[in-house]
Amino acid sequence: MSIDKHYDQSLQPEWILEQVHSAYPEGANLFQLAPLDQLHIGGIKASERLLRHLDPGRHNRILDIGSGAGGLMRQASALGFSMIGLDITHAFNRLNLGLNRCLSSQVSNPIITADAHHLPFVDESIDLILFQHSFLNMPDNRRVLDECCRVLMPGGSLLMHEVVCGEHPEQMRYPVPWAQDAAHSHLTRQQTLLQQLQQSGFSEVRIDDWSDEALAWRKRQLDKEQSGGAIRALLSPTMVLGPRFATMGKNLVLNLESRAIRVVEVVATRN
């Protein structure tokens, strides 16, 4: 099964958009859409923390690779940044475009269906590249980082909010939101990621561990899901990932607790 099939097997963009319209006929805000369009550990608050690195003076063209349903893009647009989305799963891109129209303050960002291993941009044309829980699906890390280096301007920035391999990968439980089994989970060790970034042409690499906050957040979400709070919520990740999300959500907690996975923020500069 290809990676886009993992995501689009339960994904019905038109049905989801109908649910959003009936829940928020006057238009939704970023927080109301977040359970649906911020599909990473930490939700909208983690995105807010990541977006603090964006600089209106330097970052005019920003590319979100693996933009999914587009929560991070809409949040950055609301701060005045010009965003381009790129995702291999076409159904996610249709949902992302549709959700732009559901927002009370509408935005329009270009969104491209493409593979991060072959970026459809000319050399040195992007100021900043974002990955949020998408690098974890990419089998050829070096190829993707080489492509990022090619399309970024010299001095451009790479920003990641990613899941990496922890000290106990043998404890890993599937399914997780990004993979049904090991075939689509491509978690890198922190040290390997650091070396790959340097080999591809990045410097000033900083890796911060966000795992403690990630675990606390996911446990709070799990409590809500198990007490029925999430069912009563108007929108939820289950609408995107299907009923299998119940097991995926529990496994995230177990994987963080056992240190099979870690959650990190990575900041790097293209030489």
On the question of a cis peptide bond just before residue 175, with omega within 30 degrees of 0, the verdict is yes
Backbone angles phi, psi at 161, to 5 degrees: -125, 100
Nearest CB to ligand SAM, comparing residues 67 and 157: 67
| Residue 105 CB, nearest approach to ligand SAM (Å) | 20
For 83, 179, 197, 228, the CA distances from 112, given in Å and listed in that order, are 11, 22, 25, 36
Nearer to ligand SAM, 178 or 202 (CB): 178
To ligand SAM, the closest distance from the beta carbon of 254 in angstroms equals: 18
Closer CB to ligand SAM, 32 or 67, in the complex: 67
Give me the DSSP letters along 141-172: HHHHHHHHHHHEEEEEEEEEEEEEE-S-GGG-
Q: Which of 135, 149, 159 is nearest to 199 (CA)?
A: 149
Nearer to ligand SAM, 68 or 249 (CB): 68
Q: Which residue is nearest to ligand SAM (CB)?
A: 68
DSSP strand E in 54-200: where? 62-65, 83-87, 111-113, 126-132, 152-165
DSSP state of 118: S
Task: Tally Cβ neighbours within 10 Å of residue 45.
Answer: 12
CB of 57 to ligand SAM, least distance (A): 25
In whole angstroms, the minimum distance from the beta carbon of 234 to ligand SAM comes to 18
Q: Which is nearer to ligand SAM, 59 or 133 (CB)?
A: 133
Closest contact distance (angstroms) between CB of 210 and ligand SAM is 14
Smallest gap from Cβ 92 to ligand SAM, in A, equals: 5
Which positions touch ligand SAM (CB under 6 A)?
3-4, 7, 38-40, 65-69, 71, 86-89, 92, 115-117, 132-134, 137-138, 177-178
Q: Which is nearer to ligand SAM, 32 or 38 (by Cβ)?
A: 38
CA distance readout (Å), 21 to 32, 70, 129, 269: 12, 17, 31, 41
